[in-house]
């Protein structure tokens, strides 16, 4: 190994030891021929200390390459394919650089857009409901997600209630995970709380009719699987700290009007959290929130008897 390779090895070992930069995102097994580091977003760098004599570089099978190029010859793609079960990059038989050669690998995106992984283990561990169990699933955003954190006694006292909220989620993300996080859990009732993050533009602009349509689709999926539906109103909000350019108050009223009309037309229970929690400025009553959007314990204490009453009605 020449002096350049030795120096690179020392630098790489230092970063890996102190946990700076790329070390936390590397999950691939260290290869005999060199090392992997994370490049710019969506790329993996294979640093080749020991060039393979036949030009066949065996990569970690967990890598999902879209394409690869040597930095010394960026205009030419390097062929990668499975050979006898080994993910193999076909390099020239001789190294093109006297120093460390680098293969830049573009990875296939693996974003879990709807965060299906969040509850996958919990869902697998959750036993099927008994014949007498009145299971209720709550699907929603941070207002649902934080319920367990901020007033978890509600779920402890009602063990048939299952929280499947995920902070920051939009109605489209909830719709995508509705089957694994609701239908497959076999509840008798689902409480759907969605919309405020759509209005905030968390995943880009979406008009009010489209937001409502996503929520309607969740309700229709539930009904098709013999699950009773409770459509919860969006809570009042005068502003979003994470999206300060948005003025949500009137948009929330517009969305709630659509949800209430849909519920009435389709004989679905509409749960009106909005009315008892709104102030004179169409925002969340200060004493009921820890900010302008999220309820505090006092807010959840308003919501809990309301949702329990709606659940009792749905079960009848």
Q: Report d(CA 172, CA 168) in Å as an integer.
A: 12
CB proximity list for 262: less than 8 A, separation 6 or greater:
212, 216, 219, 231, 268
Residue 96 has what pLDDT?
75
Residue 71 has what pLDDT?
93
CB proximity list for 121: less than 8 A, separation 6 or greater:
none
Residue 98 has what pLDDT?
67
Q: What is the CA radius of gyration of the chain?
A: 26
Question: How many Cα atoms are found within 13 Å in the side-chain-facing hemisphere of 95?
Answer: 16
Per-residue pLDDT of the chain in tens (316 residues, 90 and over written 9): 444 444 444 444 434 333 323 333 447 889 999 999 988 888 999 999 999 999 999 999 999 999 999 999 999 999 999 999 999 999 998 887 767 899 999 998 878 999 999 999 999 999 999 999 999 999 999 999 999 999 999 999 999 999 999 999 999 999 999 999 999 999 999 999 999 999 999 999 999 999 999 999 999 999 999 999 999 999 999 999 999 999 999 999 999 999 999 999 999 999 999 999 999 999 999 999 999 999 999 999 999 999 999 999 999 9
pLDDT in tens, 83-139: 999 999 999 988 877 678 999 999 988 789 999 999 999 999 999 999 999 999 999
Residue 1 has what pLDDT?
45
Asked if 72 and 85 count as a contact pair (C-beta separation under 8 A), the reply is no
CB proximity list for 4: less than 8 A, separation 6 or greater:
98, 99, 100
Residue 5 has what pLDDT?
47
Burial classification of residue 198, based on how many CB atoms lie within 10 Å of its CB (0-12 exposed, 13-18 middle, 19 or more buried): buried
């Amino acid at each position: 190994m020449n002096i350049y390779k030795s120096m690179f090895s020392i630098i790489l070992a230092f970063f890996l030891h102190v946990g700076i930069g790329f070390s936390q995102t590397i999950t691939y097994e260290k290869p005999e021929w060199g090392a992997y580091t994370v490049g710019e977003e969506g790329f993996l760098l294979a640093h080749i200390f020991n060039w393979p004599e036949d030009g066949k570089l065996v990569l970690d099978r967990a890598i999902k390459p879209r394409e690869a190029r040597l930095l010394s010859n960026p205009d030419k793609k390097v062929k990668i394919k499975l050979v006898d079960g080994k993910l193999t990059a076909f390099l020239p038989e001789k190294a093109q650089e006297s120093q460390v050669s680098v293969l830049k690998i573009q990875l296939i995106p693996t974003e879990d857009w709807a965060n299906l992984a969040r509850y996958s283990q919990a869902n697998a561990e959750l036993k099927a409901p008994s014949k007498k169990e009145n299971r209720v699933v709550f699907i929603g955003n941070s207002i649902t997600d934080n319920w367990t954190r901020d007033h978890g006694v509600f779920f402890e006292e009602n063990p048939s209630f299952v929280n499947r909220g995920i902070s920051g989620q939009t109605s489209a993300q909830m719709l995508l995970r509705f089957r694994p996080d609701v239908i497959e859990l076999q509840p008798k009732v689902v409480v759907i709380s969605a919309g405020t993050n759509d209005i905030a533009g968390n995943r880009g602009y979406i008009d009010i009719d489209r937001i409502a349509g996503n929520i309607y689709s969740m309700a229709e999926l539930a009904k098709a699987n013999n699950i009773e539906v409770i459509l919860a109103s969006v809570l009042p909000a005068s502003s979003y700290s994470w999206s300060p350019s948005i003025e949500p108050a009137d948009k929330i009223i517009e969305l709630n009007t659509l949800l209430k009309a849909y519920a009435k037309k389709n004989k679905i229970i509409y749960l009106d959290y909005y009315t008892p929690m709104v102030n004179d400025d169409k925002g969340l009553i200060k004493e009921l929130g820890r900010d302008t959007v999220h309820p505090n314990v006092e807010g959840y204490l308003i919501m809990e008897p309301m949702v329990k009453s709606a659940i009792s009605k749905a079960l009848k």
